[in-house]
Each structure stands twice: as C-alpha cells, then as structure tokens.
C-alpha cells in the first residue's frame, strides 16, 4: 500500500478533506498526512509557492510516495509541484484519482470502455496544450511536458470516436433488453444516489432470490452477487436482480454512485450507465440519513439536477442508515429537507428496518396496472395461456365453467394487449 499525502486548496473558508481521504483509501492508498490552504489559486503551483515548499517537507518527512490534490491541477502545475518533491513522488489530482479507482473496479467490457473514454477525455486538453506550446516555443519537451508528438491529439480524437461507437452499440443492446423485460411484464426500478449511500446493501435486502440461474434465459446480465462493502465506488457497472415487492414483477438495478464535483467530461463518459436510471419506471434515490443536513441537501440538489435532466419516471427518496440516527434527529432532517424530499421512506438496509414499507411504496408508485377479464375457450393451448398470464400479471380469479376458463387479472397495459391477442388466437383455433 503506497503512502500518500492529501492536499486541498479552497478559495475561502475551511477545506473539508473527508471525501478525498475516503477516495484515496478506496484506491488503496495509506493517507499519512494532510495539508490545506485557503487562498486564491496560484497559476504556477495551485497552492502558494511557500505552501508548496511546506508540502514538500511533509512529503519528505512522511516518506510519502504519492501526493493527492482534492483539486483539478493543470499540466504545468502538476509539473511544477513534482519538481518540489523528492524524485519518484507521483502527483495526482482529484480526477486522476477517481479515474484510477474506476480503472480498478471496471470488470465488464462496458465499464472498461467508459473508463478508457474518461481517461482520453481527460488527456485531450493536455495534449492540445502540449501541441500549442510546442508550436509556439518551437522546443520539444517545453516545460517538462514531454516530447511533442503532433499526431497524438488526432489519435486521441479517433480513439474517442471509436469507443463512443462501441458504447452506442452496447446501449442499443441494453435498450432492447429493457424492452424485452417490459414486454415480459417486468417493471424496471433503478437505484440512484451518491456512492456509499448503501444502494448495493439495499439491493441485496430487496432481492427475492440470490440464485437467478432460472432467469438466465430472459435476463442474461442478472448478477447473483452484489458487493455491500463500506467503501466508495464498490459498484461501477450495473447489477440487476429480481426484487420481492409484492404482486408486481420488479427488476431492480443498482448503478454507479454519484460523487461530488465531477467535471462534465467525466459524467458524460458514464452516461450510458445512467441510462438504467433515465429509462426506469421508477427511481429510488438513496440518501445517507446519517450525514449532516447540509451534506444531504447538497447531494439531493446534485442528484435532482442530474436525474430531472432526462428522467421522466417518478422519484422516491429513500433515507437509508436510519439505524445510525436518533428518531428525533431523523424527524428534524425530514422537515428541513421536505422541499427536496417530500414523503421519503426511511429504512435501514443493514438491519432491514422498514424495508417492507419501501416494498409497498414501490408497488404504489409504479405505473398503474390495467384490470382485465378474459373468457378463454378450452383447447390444447389454453392452459399455456393461463400459465403465461400468471407469469406476467396478477391473477385474481381463475374459474372453469364448462368448456371455458374465466380469467380475471391485472397487468401492465402491454401485457393485457398480448393476453387479448392470445385469447383471440385460441378463439380462432376453436372456430376452425
């Protein structure tokens, strides 16, 4: 485990290092020291030069191998800071650290492509700057930025285009799979929220069966395992499971967690993962209720900005980790956040507290089902139709009257239409 010093500059006020320390630890670093500064950004070192010298002493005294800034560093600032530190000490900024974590967690082809796309988008402006400076200065390696390669900028752009095309193909396949699920009678519910809010734990709590092999033909990407560790970015891709909420057939998808202060290029690289949220029938916005009201409010605002941009499904706020919050404090937080989180559901995914109420709420918030009554003639195929309706809807009455079967059920409108078509086919067969 590499030893790291974490640094952060803010324009004013006090710098909060809690999240960047969590991120560093999530990446596998041992944070041995921290340093902060409140001042305007310095063009050469990001922090003031005197503070950079102080940081160099901290690095040398602690034997750190990496310096991590909770800020965005320009290529010149990174180079200048590196010149202050002992040889071999690496300088990372917030976004290179996040990309490193993403790279560690990317298991699927889609996730790996998204990480590669984000890395290229991060590198592109630096390649453009290097090209511009090299042309202006007419010296390769200007400012220690490395040898100038005029083709690198174009290579990056070509790679970005290639990856985007492959991600678009994957997105089309996933959309087709979502439509197949809807046609099979499933409601699609997505878990959204900040990383470490407990989404994966909640998924496990709501899952009706950890063994999903029986669903493999219909749902080839169902994953029988979903990690529930207390660390950031445990879930990078998506994990889908069948959830037990009552009479509805629900597929619940856990997605990559949000994290604060992400640049547009990074969010854009992972937008195909968020399609599972944007195209769901219902979104559960999971919030860590043990955090301060200020933190919860800031995260709710960011989530709403992201979700309401493209999402049309209803959103239910889930206040998780209530086992860590006294009841009086929880009520105060609900009142303070009522404008952003009206009528939330309070649960503890860890203990199971109030999860049944959440299941009931899911059933209530999903698009309404349609009531239908069918009179099916008794043929060789009738029982297969009855079985199909049981699998895709909720049968309230099934009676056998002479040479007919009376079936009263409720289901999604698309399922009702297909059931009517199947009944019509039976009637056609009987008449022939």
Could you tell me the residue range of the domain that residue 139 belongs to?
A: 107-171
Same domain, 206 and 352: yes
Is residue 240 situated within a structural domain?
yes
Sole residue written with tokens 């490395």: 146
Same domain, 352 and 225: yes
How far CA 330 is from CA of 119, 353, 419, in Å, comes to 40, 14, 46
Give tens-digit pLDDT for 103-123.
Answer: 777 767 877 887 888 888 888
Same domain, 220 and 350: yes
Sole residue written with tokens 């083709």: 151
Same domain, 68 and 50: yes
Same domain, 56 and 73: yes
Is residue 127 situated within a structural domain?
yes
pLDDT at 220: 35
Is residue 180 situated within a structural domain?
no
Structural domain count of the chain: 4
| Binding site as annotated, residues for GTP | 193-200, 254-257, 320-323
pLDDT at 231: 43
Judge whether 269 and 118 are in contact, CB under 8 Å.
Answer: yes
Cα–Cα distance for residue pair 195/177, rounded to 1 Å: 26
| Binding site as annotated, residues for Mg(2+) | 200, 235
Instruction: List the CATH number of the domain containing 78.
Output: 3.40.50.11060
pLDDT at 141: 46
Same domain, 134 and 153: yes
Give tens-digit pLDDT for 16-56.
Answer: 898 899 889 988 999 999 999 999 999 999 999 999 999 99
Same domain, 226 and 352: yes
Q: Which letter, b or e, does each residue of 42-59 get, where b requires 16 or more Cβ atoms within 10 Å of its Cβ?
A: beebbbbeebbebbbebb
pLDDT at 208: 63
Q: What percent of the chain has pLDDT over 70?
A: 79
Instruction: List the CATH number of the domain containing 308.
Output: 3.40.50.300
Same domain, 385 and 414: yes
Same domain, 426 and 301: no
Give tens-digit pLDDT for 290-348.
Answer: 999 999 998 898 888 777 666 678 899 999 999 999 999 999 999 999 999 999 999 99
Give tens-digit pLDDT for 190-200.
Answer: 898 887 888 88
Is residue 310 situated within a structural domain?
yes
| Binding site as annotated, residues | 193-200, 235, 254-257, 320-323
Same domain, 252 and 401: no
CA 68, 72, 75 angle in degrees (round to 5)? Answer: 90
Does residue 214 carry a pLDDT above 70? no
0.85 exceeded by the pTM?
Answer: no
Joined tokens for residue 58: 């901290």
Q: Is 401 left (phi over 0), alpha (psi -120 to 50) or beta?
A: beta
pLDDT at 229: 43
pLDDT at 53: 96
Instruction: List the CATH number of the domain containing 394.
Output: 3.30.70
Residue 234: Cβ-neighbour burial (10 angstroms; 0-12, 13-18, 19+):
buried
How far CA 362 is from CA of 180, 246, 250, 390, in Å, comes to 21, 9, 9, 20
Give tens-digit pLDDT for 125-173.
Answer: 777 766 665 555 554 444 444 455 567 888 999 999 999 898 888 878 8
Contacts of 108 (CB under 8 A, 6+ apart): 237
Is residue 100 situated within a structural domain?
no
């Amino acid at each position: 485990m590499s030893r790291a010093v974490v640094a952060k500059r803010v324009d004013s006020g006090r710098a909060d290092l809690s999240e960047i320390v969590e991120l560093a630890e999530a990446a596998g670093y041992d944070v041995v020291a921290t340093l902060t500064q409140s001042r305007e950004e310095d063009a050469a070192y990001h922090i003031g030069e005197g503070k950079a010298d102080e940081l160099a002493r901290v690095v040398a005294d602690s034997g750190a191998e990496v310096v991590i800034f909770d800020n965005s560093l320009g290529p010149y600032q990174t180079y200048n800071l590196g010149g202050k530190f002992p040889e071999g000490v690496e300088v990372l900024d917030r976004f290179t650290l996040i990309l490193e974590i993403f790279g560690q967690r990317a298991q699927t082809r889609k996730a790996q492509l998204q990480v590669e796309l984000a890395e290229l988008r991060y590198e592109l402006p630096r390649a453009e700057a290097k090209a511009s400076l090299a042309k202006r200065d007419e010296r390769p390696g200007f400012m220690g930025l490395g040898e100038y390669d005029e083709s690198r900028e174009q290579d990056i752009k070509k790679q970005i285009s290639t990856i985007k095309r492959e991600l678009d193909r994957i997105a089309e396949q996933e959309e087709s799979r979502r439509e197949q699920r809807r046609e099979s009678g499933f409601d699609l519910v997505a878990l959204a929220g900040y990383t470490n809010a407990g989404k994966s734990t909640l998924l496990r709590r709501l899952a009706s069966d950890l063994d999903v092999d029986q669903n493999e033909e219909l749902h080839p990407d169902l994953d029988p395992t979903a990690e529930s560790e207390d660390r950031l970015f445990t879930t990078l891709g998506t994990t889908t499971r069948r959830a037990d909420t009552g009479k509805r057939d629900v597929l619940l998808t856990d997605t990559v967690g949000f994290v604060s202060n992400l640049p547009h290029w990074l969010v854009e690289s992972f937008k195909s993962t968020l399609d599972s949220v944007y195209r769901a029938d219902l979104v559960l916005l999971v919030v860590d209720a043990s955090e301060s009201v200020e933190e919860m409010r800031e995260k709710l605002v960011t989530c709403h900005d992201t979700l309401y941009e493209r999402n049309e499904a209803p959103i239910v706020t889930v206040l998780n980790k209530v086992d860590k919050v006294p009841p009086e404090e929880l009520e105060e937080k609900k009142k303070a956040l009522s404008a952003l989180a009206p009528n939330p559901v309070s649960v503890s995914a860890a203990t199971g507290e109030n999860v049944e109420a959440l299941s009931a709420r899911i059933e209530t918030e999903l698009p309404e089902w349609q009531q239908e009554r069918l009179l099916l003639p008794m043929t060789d195929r009738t029982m297969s139709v009855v079985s199909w309706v049981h699998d895709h809807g909720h049968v309230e009455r099934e009676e056998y009257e002479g040479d007919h079967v009376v079936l009263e059920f409720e289901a999604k409108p698309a399922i009702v239409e297909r059931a009517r078509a199947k009944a019509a086919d039976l009637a056609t067969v009987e008449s022939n």
